Amino acid sequence: MRLLIMGPPGAGKGTQAAIIGEHYNIPAISTGNIFRLAITNRTPLGERIKRIISEGGYVPDRLTLQIVIQRLEEEDAKGGWLLDGFPRTVGQVKALDKELEAHGFHLDAVISLTADEEAIIQRMLKRAEIEGRPDDNEETIRNRMEVYHDQTDPLLEVYGERGLLIEVDGMGTVEEVSARVLAALSERLGH
Q: Which is nearer to ligand AMP, 24 or 86 (CB)?
A: 86
Contact 99, 29 (CB under 8 A): no
d(CA 170, CA 120): 10
Query: Of 7, 9, 12, 21, which one interacts with ligand AMP (CB under 6 A)?
Result: 9
Given the residues 48, 123, 127, 142, the one annotated as active site:
127
Known catalytic membership, residue 2: no
| Max Cα–Cα distance, the chain, nearest Å | 44
Contact 158, 96 (CB under 8 A): no
Given the residues 48, 94, 133, 142, the one annotated as active site:
133
d(CA 82, CA 110): 9
d(CA 36, CA 50): 8
Query: Of 7, 27, 29, 35, which one interacts with ligand AMP (CB under 6 A)?
Result: 35
Asked whether position 86 contacts ligand AMP by CB under 6 A, the answer is yes
Known catalytic membership, residue 88: yes
Contact 113, 6 (CB under 8 A): yes
Q: Pick the piece of the chain touching ligand AMP (CB under 6 A) from 55-63, 105-113, 114-122, 179-187.
A: 55-63
Q: Which is nearer to ligand AMP, 118 or 187 (CB)?
A: 118
Asked whether position 152 contacts ligand AMP by CB under 6 A, the answer is no
CA dihedral over 37, 62, 6, 137, signed as positive or negative: positive
Contact 69, 99 (CB under 8 A): yes
Asked whether position 81 contacts ligand AMP by CB under 6 A, the answer is no
d(CA 7, CA 31): 14
Residue 58 gets which letter from DSSP? P
Known catalytic membership, residue 144: yes
Residues between 116 and 135 that touch ligand AMP (CB under 6 A): 135
CB of 171 to ligand AMP, least distance (A): 18
Q: Which residues are catalytic?
A: 13, 88, 127, 133, 144
Which residues of the shown chain bind ligand AMP in the complex (CB under 6 A)? 9, 30-32, 35, 52-53, 56-59, 64, 85-88, 92, 135, 144
